[in-house]
Amino acid sequence: MAFVKGAWRILVAIKDGLVLLFLLLFFGLLYAALSWSPKPTNAVTTGALLLDLDGSIVEQPAEIGAMALLSGSAPGAKEYRLSDVVAALDAARTDAKVKAVVLNLDGFTGGGQVAIARVGKALDAVRAAKKPVLTFATLYTDDSYQLAAHASEAWSDPLGGVAIMGRGGSNLYYKGLIEKLGVNTHVYRVGTYKSFVEPFTRTDQSPEAKQANQALAGALWQNWQDDVAKARPKAKIAAYAADPVAAARAANGNMAKAALDAGLVDKLGDEAAFGARVAEIAGEASGDKSNDFAAIDFATYVKARKPANDGQIGVLTVAGDIVDGEAGPGTAAGDTISDLLLTALDEKNLKALVVRVDSPGGSVMASEKIRSAILQAKSAGLPVVVSMGNVAASGGYWVSTPADMIFAEPDTITGSIGVFGIIPSFEGTLAKMGVTTDGVRTTPLSGQPDVTGGTSPEFDQIMQMGVEDIYRRFVGIVAQSRHKSPQQIDAIAQGRVWDGGTARQIGLVDRFGGLEDAIAEAARRAKIDPAKARTYQIEKKPDQWAQWVQELAADRDQEQANAPRDMLARQSWIQRGWAMQAITDVKALVMGAGVRADCLECRGYGAPRNTSAAEERGVMAMIAGLWR
């Protein structure tokens, strides 16, 4: 028996050893797979650089976790980093391997006028280098057509065309639903134009909000037309957009022919005909490639030409909603961004800081935390330059105030210097179900805010005074930054949103220019030759495991395959995305930070945020629950 027990122990030990050895080998191979990648330069072929933009262009793509990718719950549409697109086009301009640049815009969902204009400028540079730029879409909409206008050949499917909608649209207002549900919304705000809370207190826009929003939409629409007209002088864009019915009637309802007649597109043909045309320029595809033409993969091309992240000009990106706590890229979490910046200041030999802002704002506390970290960089002697992207409003402007100089574009949306807070209480809803509340107090603030029994007058007064105090602080910070009096800033604040051109006139920004201009200015202030300046991107390192899974899943079916192509279905699809964003914004407002420096109207320009199927189901379930 002792022999059997001894033999059994030996067998178990061997088994445990083999399992341990297998696990070590498994994780060793996994680490090797994550760490190793072939030299991307060897993978770049000769042909047309293909930008198959099945998603949106953003300042900083959101991080998608490995589990979301493996479970299939990740958003279907992709996000493309603006700097990657621009860098690829700049490299293609002088790359002998790149015979042409091709943009497939069938799945393009937008990116904001600043981002799209920057890509358009890069496309113009490619054309100036005598390289053709060709675009294809079944149906162009405003954002995709702004890119197509910069092409040497713009193609549309004979069953498609160009649908120019212009700036503007409707917002959701919830006062009627709130009253039906018996919900009491307690709103505390400062700012005549601070319209973020209006959906909870009104059934329509206030006259002040409508005036400001009309001015903003009008300025951006004019800039859009100017950009398109400059890029494509032959396009009769003003007449086409002003009277689309006349254009359609003249072509007997054939929108593709109407676009061709108006000079908006150059040729009509399906995707196969377009591929054959590109093949004439760039050569035919070899072997089992799915395209008709020799295509250079965009992701591989970007990876091959990505510069080393070892410069002395730190670039800190504040992109997305500003929220408390920690979060991944694509969301401006106060703790995460401040920690990243302070770590970079401690570990890197930075000589200057550029803050790239593309945010409509959010939490006041998180905005202040980011601002404080930037001030630490400034107190360490680093010049600070802010570069504004599509939007830098409310909290986005708050974090910009430490700058020595602020760059923006005419299409930048900024300002919205105002503060608000909102708390719902459900005493009316409970009363409809026969539920009431009662209790005792030891002070006027006992149990406040009471979301089941309602807020007390004392609590409401304190909250309103607190919001007014934060507004005074906000105005004071801006006044100090812009070298103006608080009274002068208050006159242009009040929550009003401005386009970049007007913002420069009233002194909220200093110069027009993009990120490259801001980096050059930071280099000059740090006594570095701008031509030799290199950047260090201050952001969270990507999750290698998630990246590996994403590369494995790169060939999965994209949402583009299911994206509707005809005008009616496509516009409905796009508007559904905006509606989902509006509802999720409301959900985040109710569940997020109490006091906010946020901008509602700013969110309607650009592209709707990607939502997964799981998020859509969650939002729809919430709506259904409220309706019941």
Distances (CA, A) of 460 to 195, 318, 445, 594: 20, 33, 10, 13
Distances (CA, A) of 364 to 178, 370, 398, 494, 558: 26, 10, 9, 16, 37
Query: Is 222 a residue whose pLDDT tops 80?
Result: yes
Count of CB atoms within 10 A of residue 363's CB? 25
Query: Is 298 a residue whose pLDDT tops 90?
Result: yes
Structure tokens at 514: 């993009």
Q: Quick one: average pLDDT of 582-605? A: 66
Structure tokens at 225: 């037309």
pLDDT value of position 41: 45
SS3 of residue 152 by DSSP: coil
Query: Is 301 a residue whose pLDDT tops 50?
Result: yes
Beta bridge partners of 385: 354, 405
Report which of 390, 502, 494 is spatially closest to residue 114, judged by C-alpha positions.
390
pLDDT value of position 195: 72
Confidence bin at 224 (pLDDT 50/70/90): very high
**Contact between residue 600 and residue 370 where contact means Cβ atoms under 8 Å apart:** no
SS3 of residue 327 by DSSP: coil
Q: What positions carry a catalytic annotation?
A: 194, 394
| pTM summary value | 0.85
SS3 of residue 314 by DSSP: strand
Report which of 33, 163, 251 is spatially closest to residue 567, judged by C-alpha positions.
163
Q: Quick one: average pLDDT of 238-245? A: 93
Q: Which residues contact 222 (CB under 8 A, 6 or more apart)?
A: none
d(CA 404, CA 480): 12
Query: Is 512 a residue whose pLDDT tops 60?
Result: yes
- Most confident range (mean pLDDT) of 19-33, 49-63, 170-184, 199-213 is 49-63
Tell me which of 164-178, 404-418, 614-628 is least confident: 614-628
Tell me which of 105-114, 224-233, 245-254, 560-569 is least confident: 560-569
Query: Is 35 a residue whose pLDDT tops 70?
Result: no
Cα dihedral across residues 387, 390, 394, 395: positive or negative: negative
First to last CA, the chain: 70
pLDDT value of position 171: 77
Confidence bin at 288 (pLDDT 50/70/90): low
Asked if the bond preceding 449 is cis, omega within 30° of 0, the reply is yes
Characterise 599 by phi-psi region: left (phi > 0), alpha (psi -120 to 50), beta (else): beta
Q: Quick one: average pLDDT of 99-114? A: 94
Binning the chain into helix, strand and coil, the percentages to the nearest 5 are: 50, 20, 35
Q: In what order do the strands lie in the sheet with 332-333?
A: 184-190, 419-425, 595-598, 361-363, 322-323, 332-333
Count of CB atoms within 10 A of residue 259's CB? 27
Confidence bin at 103 (pLDDT 50/70/90): very high
Tell me which of 141-150, 213-222, 429-438, 549-558 is least confident: 549-558
pLDDT value of position 40: 47
What phi and psi, each to the nearest 5 degrees, are found at residue 470?
Answer: -65, -40
Write the pLDDT tens digit of every residue in 532-588. 999 999 998 766 655 555 555 554 444 444 556 655 555 555 656 656 666 565 555
pLDDT value of position 197: 80
d(CA 626, CA 373): 41
Percent of the chain topping pLDDT 70: 79
**Contact between residue 333 and residue 325 where contact means Cβ atoms under 8 Å apart:** yes
d(CA 216, CA 224): 12
pLDDT value of position 474: 96
pLDDT value of position 386: 98
Report which of 593, 410, 574 is spatially closest to residue 504, judged by C-alpha positions.
410
Q: Quick one: average pLDDT of 260-280? A: 96
Percent of the chain topping pLDDT 90: 60
Confidence bin at 105 (pLDDT 50/70/90): very high
d(CA 96, CA 94): 6
Average pLDDT, the chain: 85
**Contact between residue 257 and residue 251 where contact means Cβ atoms under 8 Å apart:** yes
CATH 3.90.226.10 fits 313-538, yes or no: yes
pLDDT value of position 45: 81
pLDDT value of position 178: 81
d(CA 387, CA 23): 48
**Contact between residue 598 and residue 572 where contact means Cβ atoms under 8 Å apart:** no
Q: What is the CATH number of domain 41-168+220-304?
A: 3.90.226.10
Q: What is the DSSP code string of 180-203?
A: HHT-EEEEEEE-TT-GGGHHHH-S
pLDDT value of position 78: 86
pLDDT value of position 606: 66
pLDDT value of position 39: 46
Q: Residue 364 CA to chain centroid, in angstroms?
A: 20
Decide which of 184 and 221 is more confident: 221
d(CA 444, CA 217): 45
